[in-house]
């Protein structure tokens, strides 16, 4: 597996040479990256970035991959102009940094993006995916936003919403077996709570040997034994969206 000595390895394998197939737009007070398929569609996916922000090439690569599967994909700046975390930052300051960027306080921005997708893009069936910080945001939205059809939370930080499990929409949770940020006991507890409280379809899947950030890691920067699980995670994500959108 890739060497992950840092607390959050989502930035490993940055596609610094990957400019993206889409474009940057201004949606009211939010900047966003959007990519549209050549054929008209009423299906769209909001992509919620991790702590490294909306401009991370890895995240744009996944947004473009959604577009190649027939979706309008939009990745807004949910930090709304505040600086994203940099790998060179001092991790000792992370707790203070993240307090000003609450994954449970993005509802205003989501409403703006939903209006844009419906009014400007003709979207009627809208889902959401998110990575790490964004994965926690997906869980938040699946608990309360009635306008989204489904969600995929990729290694979302469980502890942020550990006591809330009554999901409104079908939700797929992706975790890595070797994730140092999200221990397996947290995943087990999440499954137990969902089983007790959740009335909609859900799935929790653990991918063997995988670490935090594995699904949106650059293919060329992984070990051969990781590649099948990365591809499986991406395929599972697309299949879930296809099922509910």
Range of the domain at 119: 23-244
Based on the residue annotation, tell me whether 179 is a catalytic residue of this protein. yes
In a domain, 2, yes or no: no
**Which among 132, 165, 216, 226 is annotated as catalytic?**
132
Residue 13 lies in a domain: no
Choice among 49, 165, 169, 212 that is catalytic: 212
Q: Which pLDDT score, from 0 to 100, does residue 159 have? A: 77
| Percentage with pLDDT > 70 across the chain | 89
Does residue 4 fall inside a structural domain? Answer: no
Q: 35-63: per-residue pLDDT in tens? A: 999 999 999 999 999 999 999 988 999 99
- For the chain, what is the domain count? 1
Does a structural domain hold residue 154?
yes
The CA distances from residue 62 to 1, 59, 215, 238, in Å, are: 21, 5, 9, 11
134 located within any domain: yes
Residue with tokens 């990781």: 226
- 212 flagged as catalytic: yes
From residue 24, alpha-carbon distances to 20, 75, 76, 206 in Å are 10, 9, 9, 34
Phi-psi region of 80 (alpha: psi -120 to 50; beta: other; left: phi over 0): left
The residue from 50, 64, 77, 179 that is catalytic is: 179
Query: Is 111 labeled as catalytic in the residue annotation?
Result: no
Assigned domain for 8 exists: no
Q: Give CA–CA dist 44/3, Å, rounded.
A: 34
Q: Is the pLDDT of residue 80 over 70?
A: yes
Task: Assign residue 235 the CATH number of its domain.
Answer: 3.40.50.1820
Give the pLDDT confidence of 12-40 residue by residue, as tens digits: 444 445 668 899 999 999 999 999 999 99
User: Would you say residue 12 lies in a domain?
Assistant: no
Are 61 and 18 in contact, with CB atoms under 8 Å apart? yes
């Amino acid at each position: 597996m890739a060497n992950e000595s840092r607390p959050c390895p989502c930035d490993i394998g940055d596609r610094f040479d990957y400019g993206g197939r889409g474009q940057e737009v201004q949606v009211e007070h939010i900047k966003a990256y959007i990519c549209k398929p050549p054929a008209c569609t009423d299906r769209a996916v909001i992509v919620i970035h991790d702590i490294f922000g909306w401009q991370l090439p890895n995240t744009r690569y996944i947004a473009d991959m959604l577009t190649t599967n027939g979706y309008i994909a939009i990745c807004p700046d949910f930090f709304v102009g505040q600086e994203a975390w940099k790998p060179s930052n001092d991790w000792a300051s992370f707790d203070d940094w993240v307090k000003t960027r609450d994954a449970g306080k993005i509802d205003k921005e989501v409403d703006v993006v939903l209006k844009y997708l419906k009014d400007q893009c003709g979207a009627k069936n809208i889902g959401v995916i998110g990575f790490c910080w964004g994965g926690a945001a997906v869980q938040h939205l699946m608990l309360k936003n009635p306008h989204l059809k489904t969600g995929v939370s990729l290694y979302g930080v469980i502890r942020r919403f550990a006591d809330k499990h009554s999901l409104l929409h079908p939700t797929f949770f992706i975790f890595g077996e070797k994730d140092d940020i999200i221990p397996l006991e947290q995943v087990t507890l999440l499954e137990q709570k969902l089983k007790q409280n959740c009335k909609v379809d859900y799935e929790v899947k653990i991918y063997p040997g995988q670490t935090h950030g594995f699904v949106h890691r650059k293919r060329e920067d992984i070990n051969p034994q990781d590649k099948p699980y990365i591809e499986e995670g991406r395929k599972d994500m697309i299949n879930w969206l296809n099922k509910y959108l």
